[in-house]
Structure 1
Amino acid sequence: MDKLNFIKNGVSRLPPGFRFQPTDEELVFQYLKCKIFSCPLPASIIPEVNVCKYDPWDLPGGCDEQERHFFSSKESKYRNSNRMSRTTKCGYWKATGSDKRISSSTCNGIVGLRKTLVFYEGKSPNGSRTNWILHEYRLINVETNPNNSTQNYGNEIGDWVLCRLSMRKRSLEYGSTSTHHNHNATNSRLMFDFMMVNNNNNKTCSSTSSSCSSSSNNNIEVSSNHHQDGYADF
């Protein structure tokens, strides 16, 4: 029996002031491993939901800004394949990047794999990418080759995966990008104004220099000495 039960009506409900922020290693070896081998969980806080049967906004839980965790069964598969079907009512989940290996010093022969998926609205392959991100955790057997001590992935363990759902925040990224572009535009404008002023000053200096050349020799000597002093001070 689980030590603590925070699931009510299929949704995890934590007391005020508490947050559930486990690491990848804790999710794999403290929750998923215990779920697969029917061991007591540290706390009953992760509900059982078939994630691939729902659009991400229809999944139970809190606000979009909060991470949500689910135990999902592997029963949803294609007819002619053992791969899981990731098609929902309004879109589909698409894997991106490479899987991340998660290991523990206390569990020999077993590792976790974290797969990253992005939700696309519409039909594959012409769907529209959204900000919904899903991390899917699995348990894998590790087979060691005695000849060269290399490790290869074996079969998957159990009929469950653990999913972590979140929404990527892009508003801040867009804001910072827009600010960056505006900043560059301002700098470009300032540089342009500076060059225009500099060119005008050069024209003024050229005209002043021409007038100075028609002046007396004393004025020319004073101007020449001042110019040399200026380079010496610099």
Structure 2
Amino acid sequence: MERLNFVKNGVSRLPPGFRFQPTDEELVFQYLKCKIFSSQLPASIIPEINNVSKYDPWDLPGNCDDEERYFFSSKEVKYRRGNRMNRTSNSGYWKATGSDKKISSSINNGIVGLRKTLVFYEGKSPNGSRTEWVMHEYRLVSVETSASNSSQKDANEIGDWVLCRISLKKRSIESDNNTTPSGRTMVNNAEMAQPRFFDFLSVHHNSLPAPAHSSTSSTCSSSNNVVDVSFPNHEETSGYGHF
């Protein structure tokens, strides 16, 4: 059977109309397991990158507008002694969240997958700003019963590769239009500075909040029940009159 290759210049390229939407089990046992044991992959569609965590998510190959991007990532430990990976990039760092999810298969006895969820933060740890970039990192481990305790099982990582799925979480159309490439929401300062006018015609007077004690002055006209809230000492609001 001829091996299908959909990776060109480090980027996956599928024909129009095709989508790559594998399950967690397929990613672990059909792709990651085959990659680690040098078996033939179902299709060459996942690019290889040396430690994905070292790159800002928007700088990785592929189109950021795509729903998901997949990469085989080689492991690069942060310290010589230990298995903790280096997850620091130029603009921030990846931080694990929640507990790892176990992925098992009925035909792979003794071998399971683990899915770790990470979120990208801009800035330096631990004071970075959370973004909407999310990574699912899949690992392959072997589970063996401890010789000293039959009820205890030891998990050992297999191979030098992990499989990463990266996506930009989108909440709504409005938030998409106000989102930077880093996944942070933009704020329109000019819009926030404009005075706001409140119409109390449709609001019952008993439900109105008590006036707060502040330096903001308010002028109300009894003819149309519209309040003009003006901001003292502000040049942009000096031209507004009272109704």
Pair 1:195–1:80, CA change in 2 (3 A): closer
1:136 paired with 2:148, answer no
Is the counterpart of residue 10 in structure 1 residue 10 in structure 2? yes
Paired amino acid for 2:136: H
C-alpha contact 1:2 1:41 (8 A) present in aligned 2: no
Q: TM-score, normalised to structure 1's length?
A: 0.71
User: Unaligned 5+ residue runs, structure 2?
Assistant: 177-199, 209-243
Q: CA deviation at 1:147?
A: 9.0
Which residue of 1 is the match for residue 213 of structure 2? none
Q: Structure 1: give runs of 5+ residues left out of the alignment.
A: 176-187, 197-234
Relative to the length of structure 2, the TM-score reads: 0.68
Indicate the residue corresponding to 1:21 in structure 2: 21
Equivalence for 2:53:
52
Over aligned residues, Cα RMSD in angstroms?
2.8
Aligned to 1:87: 88
**Aligned partners of 1:159, 1:70: CA distance in 2, in Å?**
14
CA apart distance, 1:170: 2.6
Contact 1:112 1:137 in 2 (8 A): yes
Identity of aligned residues (%): 74
> Which is worse superposed, 78-87 or 123-132?
78-87
For each residue in 1:56-78, what CA deviation from the matched residue of structure 2 results, as whole angstroms up to 9, or x when unmatched?
A: 00000123342000000013433
* Pair member with larger Rg: 1
**Alignment match, 1:167:** 168
Q: 1:22 to 1:124 in 2, by over 3 A?
A: same
Corresponding residue of 2:34: 34
Shift of 1:52: 1.7
Q: Secondary structure at the match of 1:18?
A: coil
Q: Which residue of 2 aligns with 1:70?
A: 71
The verdict on how the C-alpha distance between 1:151 and 1:36 changes in structure 2, with shifts beyond 3 A counting, is farther
Q: Supply the AA of the counterpart residue of 1:85.
A: N
Higher relative strand content: 2
- Checking the alignment, whether the CA contact within 8 Å between 2:58 and 2:64 is kept in structure 1 is no
Instruction: Give 1:192 deviation, angstroms.
Output: 2.4
For residue 107 of structure 2, what is the aligned residue in structure 1? 106
The aligned amino acid for 1:139 is L
Question: Contact (CA 8 Å) 1:73, 1:159: kept in 2 or not?
Answer: yes
Per the alignment, in what secondary structure is the counterpart of residue 86 of structure 1? coil
One-letter identity of the residue aligned with 2:69: R
Give the stretch that moved more between structures: 24-33 or 58-67.
58-67
Q: What is the aligned residue count?
A: 185
More deviation, 158-167/69-78 = 69-78
Alpha-carbon spacing, 1:189–1:110, altered in 2? closer, same or farther (3 Å): farther
Partner of 1:49: helix, strand, or coil? strand
